[in-house]
Structure formats: C-alpha cells, structure tokens
Amino acid sequence: MAGQEKTIKRQENMSSRIKNLCRCVKKGDKDAACELLTIYYQDIFGYFRRLCGSKEDAEDLTQQAFLKVWRSLGSFRGRSSFSTWLYRIAYNTYIDRHRRNRQTKSCTDQWWQQCIDTSPGPFANAAERQMAKRLYTAVEQLDDGKKHLVHLHYYQGLSLRQTAKVLNISTSTVKYRLREVIKLLREQLGVEENGLSQKESIPIAKGEPI
C-alpha cells in the first residue's frame, strides 16, 4: 500500500509540474518549453519509431508534432492530461503523414532489435526475443485502427481512458477491440510457433484488465 501511495504522490507531483510548465510556456518561457520537450521527447520519438520504418522519419515526425504542440498550446484547456493531449497531436501527425505517403518502408533487423526492450526481463534469451520479433511482425500486419490501440496502450503505456481520448472513441470500444486484438495475435502466434497454446500469454507489456 505504501508503494502505491508513493506512486500516486509522484504522479500528482508530475501532473502539477507539467501544469506549471504549460502556464510558463504560454507566457513565452523558452526554458519551460525546453523542459517539456525533454520530459516527453523520448516517449513521442519511441511512439513514432515503432510506427515508422526509419529513425529519420521518426525524428521528423517528432519535430512536426512538437511544433504543432507549441503552436496549439494556447488552446490547451486542461480538460485532459497534457500527455493525452500530446499523444492526440502525435497520433494526428502520423495519420496526416500516412495519408500523404501511402508507401511503407520495410523494417530491417536493426529496427526489430531496437523495438525489443534490451533490459533484463521479458526478452532475456534468444527464444523470447525471437517470439517478440514475431509479435511485432504480427502487430504491424494489423489494420491501422487495431495497430494504434496496441501501440498506445501496451507499448506507450497509456491507460484505456487515455487511449480512448487519443483515438476519439469510447473506453468500452477500446476494451472490445483490444480483446479482439489479443485473440487474433494469440491465434497468429499459435500458428507460427508450432501450436503455441492460446492460453499462454503473449510477450506484450501488461495493460489494464480488458
């Protein structure tokens, strides 16, 4: 319980800090803008990196997203958290680029290795890393709507409610579609992994109960 209370306190402190930074940025404080960029850059870059076939595209999209953030910050009213608002802008930035350029780049082995967490834990051995690569391949083959659900909720760690707000759909719809996605991924991995039991968990970050 004590650990949970500390986590909640840290989240509250971060939320207060972000609100203060947003107020300062609106007043033209460049240092506050740089601090906001520092806090969120890696998360947004990571989001685009998993969606794109190249590091250069991810960097370009990240820059575009933050430019939109600075231009639109005056319209941020705090009805949602800043991170939710930011991911909504990032999501729309990617969708706009994708509509303009339908060509998709093939993903190299280096890209797959960068997607998989190298820290000790879920993918500590070669077999697990191979399974993780197969999972990423299966996710990339999902339709765009389902793929973004996985990226936002599981890979980026957004809550079900945040994911719903980013995608402009209801939380119940997010839950329903994620259940469909998990069932589909288990079926696909089961075929690819020579009869992997559908009851076995797939190597994906833990999310909220759906």
Number of domains in the chain: 2
Please report the pLDDT score of residue 85 as a whole number: 93
pLDDT at res. 199: 41
Residue 123: its pLDDT value, please? 44
Residues of the chain with pLDDT below 50 are 4, 7, 104, 106, 109, 111-112, 116-124, 191-200, 205
> Does residue 210 lie within any of the structural domains?
no
| DSSP-based three-state secondary structure for 203 | coil
The answer to whether residue 203 is domain-embedded is: no
Residues 88 and 48 in one domain: yes
Q: CA-CA distance, 210 to 207, in Å (whole number)?
A: 8
Helix, strand, coil shares of the chain as percentages rounded to 5?
Answer: 70, 0, 30
Q: Is the dihedral of CA 200, 202, 205, 210 positive or negative?
A: negative
Please give the model's pTM, rounded to 2 decimal places: 0.76
Q: Are residues 7 and 94 in the same domain?
A: yes
